[in-house]
Amino acid sequence: MDDTPLKGWNHVPKVPLQVSPFFRWPLRPQEMLSWVWNSWFLISEKLIIVSIAFVSFYWFQPPLEETKTLAFGWIAEMYVRNLILMAVVAGGLHLYFYTFTKQGKELRYDPRPLMKNGRQFTLGGQIRDNMFWTLASGVTIWTAYEVLMFWALANGYAPMLTFAAHPVWFIALFLLIPIWESFYFYWIHRFLHVPFFYKHVHSLHHRNINVGPWSGMSMHPVEHVIFLGSVLIHWIVAAHPVHILFHLQYYTLTAATTHTGFEGLVVKDENRLALGTFHHQMHHRYFECNYGSLEIPWDKFFGSFHDGTTAANERIKERRKRMMGS
């Protein structure tokens, strides 16, 4: 097998890319523990977003009793909070990596600059386009789902979970939400690549062949509704309000971090915070591969996995020819 790394990239991590050790045989407990540790502890996206969810809940969330009745005041409060969160995360990453180029091209996947102009983009440029769809549509629909879920919890339409009653399940749900996200994202992503939906909906996101932090939530409003609809699972699976916040913040804020275009944040010559994955970066260049994530290897199960090698690239090219009927 040819494990030669792909050409045409500024940075390629170690290939072939490996899926979660929970899905590799033989099982290696030490690798499995390391995967969990690196995913959740020390400094990680997941732990940061859990912290943001708790801060949001205790200091920037209207009381649940208040959300029983729809009112402009508390809805606007949540919208402004989400607008600020997205601006700080996506905007901060963009300023650090692209405006001030603090990391140069170290760990940057695609050597090409983001497109300043282009007729395919709303408002004539990639960054303006991405910011518009993220803030005008993405944050609005994100907030709409939060409003719906908090209203449903407050009125007893959605089941409530408390730490006092179910402490183990309360903690476990933080671990399970990203697993649910991996399953849900893969299948809706495959659905959005059906030609009709790709042409009329998903193609807006794929204007970004090279991605930046604002690209992650730059989607058609229909895609935002589908993408964030994952949270509706909590009409069945009981959750605490902080789980609702975490669920939607995990979806929206990691969309910005995973589209950063860099493998991680380098501090003192070490990658201290994992950000974008090469797995998804390749999806934006090669399209018909890597629809999911590495958490659960749905791509490997269904033949759409690109592991970053030239051999895999040839397989994906042949797969695309078959899909196109040529």
pLDDT tens track, the chain, 326 positions: 557 778 899 999 999 999 999 999 899 999 999 988 888 877 899 999 999 999 999 999 999 999 999 999 999 999 999 999 999 999 999 999 999 999 999 999 999 999 988 889 998 899 999 999 999 999 999 999 999 999 999 999 999 999 999 999 999 999 999 999 999 999 999 999 999 999 999 999 999 999 999 999 999 999 999 999 999 999 999 999 999 999 999 999 999 999 999 999 999 999 999 999 999 999 999 989 999 998 889 999 999 999 999 999 988 888 777 776 65
Q: What tokens were used for 273?
A: 């915070």
Amino acid 37: pLDDT: 87
Amino acid 326: pLDDT: 54
Torsion of CA 107, 108, 109, 115, to 10 degrees: 180
Coil, helix or strand at residue 239: strand
**Beta-ladder partners of 108:** 262
Amino acid 38: pLDDT: 84
Torsion of CA 90, 91, 95, 99, to 10 degrees: 100
In sign, the C-alpha dihedral spanning 201, 193, 1, 297 is positive
**Beta-ladder partners of 274:** 264
Amino acid 283: pLDDT: 96
311: Cβ contacts below 8 Å, ≥ 6 apart: 1, 2, 3, 4
CB 35 within 8 A of CB 21: yes
Please give the model's pTM, rounded to 2 decimal places. Answer: 0.95
In sign, the C-alpha dihedral spanning 229, 230, 234, 236 is positive
Q: What tokens were used for 179?
A: 């697993």
Cα 148 → chain centroid: 21
Amino acid 317: pLDDT: 84
User: Which regions of the chain does DSSP assign to beta strands (E)?
Assistant: 264-267, 270-274
Q: What tokens were used for 100?
A: 């001030």
DSSP 82-120: HHHHHHHHHHHHHIIIIIS-TTTTTTBS--SPPPS--TT
Q: What tokens were used for 49?
A: 């977003």
